[in-house]
Amino acid sequence: MAGIGEAGAIINVAQIGISLSNTLIAYVGEVKDAPSRIHRIGNEVLTTSERLKDIGELVEKNSQSHIFSEESIKSAVRCSSECHKIIEDVKTILCKSGWQGQSRALDEDEIDTSLFSTLRWPFLKVKLEVPRVELQRIKIDLSLIFPSAMVFTASSVAEQEMFKQSIPRLARTKQWATKRSQEVMKQRAMEAFSRSIALGTGETIGRRRVGHHRRIRLFSAAKIR
């Protein structure tokens, strides 16, 4: 039946997200040196996953309720796929040896505590900001799916009007979230480029120094002969 398979996939991603957020929030509660930003990303994963779960449960009942059009279900599945990718990205960033996808859940002892050192944390902080703002955007997309559908299926004119009025506000919020996401991704790309230039410059200087010392040794040897 149309919608049942999609609902199962959406709810499955939501459960994976809720599991990850519980792990991160528990980790922050137990490790006093864990940065507050870890709690923030945990909360963002949780609220997005809960919204995804709500939509998935409505999609599951769609054959009786007919709330969602086929296009709305496709939008929900797209949001689910994007959310799943971001969850895997967060696991990869935080895991000791990168997330290998061995299991659905992330255990607290798999989190690389060395990431929170004074030297490594500034780089990690930027990496985590990208999935956080992306999750905000997806959450707004999910929030738009329900009122957009209810405009056509509301039981009364007043209810229909209420959902209709909420759409422009959500659309403006989505615009802001999309812009913020693009800014953060651009910032991360620029920082990565700057680091690569710095590393390249360092390697060039190192090679020049090695070459310089080699020439001095050759010159000294020639003088001795």
Alpha-carbon distance of 196 to 145, in angstroms, equals: 41
pTM of the model: 0.71
pLDDT band of residue 138 (cuts 50, 70, 90) is very high
In whole angstroms, what is the distance from residue 47 CA to residue 67 CA? 22
Angle of CA points 80, 181, 25, to nearest 5° = 60
Question: Is it the case that residue 219 has pLDDT exceeding 50?
Answer: no
**Cα gap 205→194, rounded to integer Å:** 16
- CA 182 vs. chain centroid, Å, equals 13
Q: Are 97 and 27 in contact (CB under 8 A)?
A: no
pLDDT single digits (tens) 29-62: 777 667 777 888 999 999 999 999 999 998 998 8
The string of pLDDT tens digits covering residues 78-127 is: 999 999 999 999 988 888 665 555 555 777 777 877 777 766 777 777 78
Average per-residue pLDDT in the chain?
Answer: 78
**pLDDT (tens digit per residue) in 5-17:** 899 999 999 999 9
